[in-house]
Amino acid sequence: MSDRLHIIVTSGTREKLQMAAMTAAVAAAGGTDVGLFVSMNALAFFRRDGAPEASAEGEVGHLLEARHAPRFQDLFAQAVDLGSVKIYPCSMAMDILSLGPDDLLPYLDKPTGLTKFLAELEGSHVLTF
Protein backbone atom coordinates (compact mmCIF):
# COMPACT_ATOMS: atom_id res chain seq x y z
CA MET A 1 0.00 0.00 0.00
CA SER A 2 1.05 3.55 -0.65
CA ASP A 3 2.27 5.45 2.38
CA ARG A 4 -0.38 8.10 1.61
CA LEU A 5 -4.15 7.83 1.69
CA HIS A 6 -6.72 10.51 0.97
CA ILE A 7 -10.36 10.14 1.95
CA ILE A 8 -13.22 12.30 0.73
CA VAL A 9 -16.17 12.18 3.12
CA THR A 10 -19.48 13.61 1.93
CA SER A 11 -22.08 11.21 3.31
CA GLY A 12 -24.29 11.92 6.27
CA THR A 13 -25.04 8.29 7.08
CA ARG A 14 -23.75 6.57 10.19
CA GLU A 15 -22.32 3.55 8.36
CA LYS A 16 -20.26 5.61 5.90
CA LEU A 17 -19.01 8.04 8.53
CA GLN A 18 -18.07 5.09 10.77
CA MET A 19 -16.23 3.32 7.95
CA ALA A 20 -14.32 6.47 7.00
CA ALA A 21 -13.27 6.94 10.63
CA MET A 22 -12.21 3.30 11.03
CA THR A 23 -10.26 3.41 7.77
CA ALA A 24 -8.41 6.58 8.79
CA ALA A 25 -7.58 5.22 12.26
CA VAL A 26 -6.35 1.83 11.03
CA ALA A 27 -4.29 3.38 8.23
CA ALA A 28 -2.71 5.86 10.65
CA ALA A 29 -1.94 3.09 13.14
CA GLY A 30 -0.16 1.28 10.31
CA GLY A 31 2.04 4.28 9.54
CA THR A 32 0.12 5.72 6.59
CA ASP A 33 -0.25 9.48 6.24
CA VAL A 34 -3.95 10.26 5.84
CA GLY A 35 -5.68 13.38 4.59
CA LEU A 36 -9.45 13.67 4.90
CA PHE A 37 -11.64 16.18 3.12
CA VAL A 38 -15.00 16.60 4.87
CA SER A 39 -17.74 18.23 2.83
CA MET A 40 -21.42 18.27 1.89
CA ASN A 41 -23.69 16.31 4.26
CA ALA A 42 -20.79 15.02 6.36
CA LEU A 43 -19.63 18.42 7.60
CA ALA A 44 -22.64 18.99 9.87
CA PHE A 45 -21.48 16.07 12.07
CA PHE A 46 -18.26 17.89 12.93
CA ARG A 47 -19.91 20.85 14.64
CA ARG A 48 -18.58 21.63 18.09
CA ASP A 49 -22.05 22.24 19.50
CA GLY A 50 -25.31 20.81 18.28
CA ALA A 51 -24.07 18.21 15.81
CA PRO A 52 -27.01 16.07 14.69
CA GLU A 53 -27.13 12.30 15.07
CA ALA A 54 -26.20 10.50 11.88
CA SER A 55 -29.04 8.47 10.44
CA ALA A 56 -28.60 4.77 9.81
CA GLU A 57 -28.94 3.35 6.30
CA GLY A 58 -29.65 -0.16 7.50
CA GLU A 59 -29.33 -2.76 10.19
CA VAL A 60 -25.62 -2.28 10.85
CA GLY A 61 -26.11 1.43 11.41
CA HIS A 62 -28.74 0.72 14.06
CA LEU A 63 -26.55 -1.95 15.65
CA LEU A 64 -23.58 0.42 15.89
CA GLU A 65 -25.58 2.52 18.30
CA ALA A 66 -27.35 -0.35 20.07
CA ARG A 67 -24.07 -2.16 20.73
CA HIS A 68 -22.28 1.02 21.83
CA ALA A 69 -19.63 0.99 19.11
CA PRO A 70 -17.19 3.89 19.44
CA ARG A 71 -18.67 7.03 17.89
CA PHE A 72 -17.16 8.02 14.56
CA GLN A 73 -16.28 11.47 15.94
CA ASP A 74 -14.20 9.79 18.65
CA LEU A 75 -12.49 7.53 16.11
CA PHE A 76 -11.60 10.54 13.97
CA ALA A 77 -10.17 12.29 17.05
CA GLN A 78 -8.10 9.20 17.91
CA ALA A 79 -6.82 9.02 14.34
CA VAL A 80 -5.67 12.65 14.52
CA ASP A 81 -4.00 11.94 17.88
CA LEU A 82 -1.88 9.28 16.17
CA GLY A 83 -0.21 12.19 14.41
CA SER A 84 -0.42 11.22 10.75
CA VAL A 85 -4.03 12.25 10.03
CA LYS A 86 -5.21 15.68 8.96
CA ILE A 87 -8.93 16.42 8.57
CA TYR A 88 -9.74 19.39 6.36
CA PRO A 89 -13.23 20.89 6.39
CA CYS A 90 -14.45 22.07 3.00
CA SER A 91 -14.40 25.86 2.85
CA MET A 92 -17.36 25.97 0.43
CA ALA A 93 -19.53 23.74 2.64
CA MET A 94 -18.58 25.88 5.63
CA ASP A 95 -19.82 28.96 3.77
CA ILE A 96 -23.08 27.25 2.78
CA LEU A 97 -23.68 26.08 6.36
CA SER A 98 -22.60 29.46 7.80
CA LEU A 99 -19.87 27.82 9.89
CA GLY A 100 -16.59 29.32 11.00
CA PRO A 101 -13.51 27.43 12.19
CA ASP A 102 -14.54 27.95 15.83
CA ASP A 103 -17.86 26.21 15.13
CA LEU A 104 -16.09 22.93 14.31
CA LEU A 105 -14.53 20.24 16.47
CA PRO A 106 -11.04 21.24 17.62
CA TYR A 107 -9.23 18.35 15.91
CA LEU A 108 -10.12 19.60 12.43
CA ASP A 109 -7.37 21.35 10.49
CA LYS A 110 -7.60 24.61 8.56
CA PRO A 111 -10.47 24.79 6.07
CA THR A 112 -9.43 24.15 2.50
CA GLY A 113 -10.97 24.08 -0.94
CA LEU A 114 -11.49 21.05 -3.11
CA THR A 115 -9.01 22.30 -5.70
CA LYS A 116 -6.20 22.46 -3.15
CA PHE A 117 -7.11 19.06 -1.67
CA LEU A 118 -7.16 17.42 -5.11
CA ALA A 119 -3.74 18.91 -5.92
CA GLU A 120 -2.29 16.79 -3.07
CA LEU A 121 -3.59 13.44 -4.39
CA GLU A 122 -0.72 12.48 -6.71
CA GLY A 123 0.84 9.20 -5.65
CA SER A 124 -1.77 8.33 -3.06
CA HIS A 125 -4.78 6.07 -2.80
CA VAL A 126 -8.15 7.84 -2.73
CA LEU A 127 -11.35 6.58 -1.10
CA THR A 128 -14.74 8.24 -0.96
CA PHE A 129 -17.46 7.80 1.64
pTM more than 0.85: yes
Span 81-117, pLDDT tens digits: 998 999 999 999 999 999 999 999 999 999 999 999 9
Q: Between the CA of residue 48 and those of 25, 59, 101, 123, what are the distances in Å?
A: 21, 28, 10, 33
Q: Which helix (H) or strand (E) holds 72?
A: helix 72-81
Mean pLDDT of 2-14: 93
CATH topology of domain 4-128: Hypothetical Protein Ychn; Chain: A, (3.40.1260)
For residue 8, pLDDT beyond 70: yes
Q: In whole angstroms, what separates CA 51 from the centre of its chain?
A: 14
How big is the CA angle at 116 (ends 71 and 113), to the nearest 5 degrees?
Answer: 60
